Amino acid sequence: MKHLLSAADLSRDEAQLILDTAEEMRSLADRPIKKLPALRGRTVVNLFFEDSTRTRISFEAAAKRLSADVINFSAKGSSLSKGESLKDTALTLQAMGADGVVCRHGSSGAPHLLAKSGWMTGSVVNAGDGTHEHPTQALLDAFTMRRHLGSLEGRRITIVGDVLHSRVARSNVLLLSTLGAEVTVVAPPTLVPVDMSRWPCATSYDFDAVLPKSDAVMMLRVQRERMNDAFFPSAREYTRRYGLDKNRMAQLPDEAIVLHPGPMNRGMEISAEVADSTRSVIVEQVTNGVAIRMAVLYLLLSGSNETEEQTA
């Protein structure tokens, strides 16, 4: 693995390796000295063209715990906000000797371009690109589910909300199906792509029908502004049909858990009671995010870039 651009890049074995490595990383977090020497002397650049404090902090903590040098390069107040091109930024990072670039960008495919353009030689981790993918989010979601549900083979996972615009949904559908789960996306028809034939999942418009058959439910953030583009009539109607409240939660099987990638719109896609309930693993997702990102950075950056996999 040189880059992590899409959850589709991961084979089942690679995904399991990341999850297993994250498990070790997580247990190491309880030690008095949290720093590990694995990435000593390596430089990780957090290249954030979009504001996302949570994701940036999570990657920053992960890189620092692995002893990497971390440079934060955010759009606000930097040359990025003054129209510097992605190419010039990449050339700058190359000149600075960035071993790894964690890239968040509003344009789908921007991390892909960074990785494949030849502008820079470092590894690229997609930290969310446009409406495309957010693979480390999917990994931390899978990690969280695995801790609660065991193997995801045959597990029924339901992803609910603005699938059309969600990079979290795309990455999760791909990764969870790679891990053997049966994924169903639930949304109003206006908020799923018009042709889902290339998605390894089922699609439903009826949340209540899917609920009792779900081992985990992942609620996606829905922006109220979508209603201005007629994706749904009103926030109230959205909540009534696709929001997860206490009554709906009661329809879930006993062991089922509730996830949300954050930040939540309490009262919109998820009620406060559900978010704060014992089924909710939302806070744990944040903790697991650091372990997953440690695992990803470790597996991408700890080795030599030149050496190919040994055959031994």
Residues at the annotated binding site for L-aspartate? Answer: 82, 167, 221
Q: Which of 173/282 has CB closer to other proteins?
A: 173
CB of 281 to other proteins, least distance (A): 24
- β-partners of residue 19 are none
CA–CA distance, 220 with 173 (Å, rounded to integer): 13
Question: Which is it for the CA torsion 185, 187, 189, 195, positive or negative?
Answer: negative
Q: Does 264 bind other proteins (CB under 8 A)?
A: no
Q: Does 143 bind other proteins (CB under 8 A)?
A: no
Q: Does 82 bind other proteins (CB under 8 A)?
A: no
Listed ranges 137-145, 212-220, 284-292, 294-302: which one lies at the site for other proteins (CB under 8 A)? 294-302
- β-partners of residue 47 are 73, 103
**CA distances (Å), origin 252, targets 78, 184, 191:** 47, 15, 23
- β-partners of residue 125 are 4, 102
Element spanning 91, H or E = helix 86-96
CB of 107 to other proteins, least distance (A): 4
For other proteins, which residue of 72, 78, 94, 108 counts as binding (CB under 8 A)? 108
Residues 227-246 interacting with other proteins (rule: CB under 8 A): none
Q: Does 85 bind other proteins (CB under 8 A)?
A: yes
Residue 128, SS3? strand
DSSP conformational letter for 233: S
Q: Does 26 bind other proteins (CB under 8 A)?
A: no
Residue type for position 129: D
Binding site for other proteins (CB under 8 A): 1, 17, 20-21, 24-25, 27-28, 31-33, 35-38, 41-42, 66, 85-87, 105-110, 112-113, 116-117, 129-133, 164, 167, 170, 193-199, 298-304, 307-310, 312
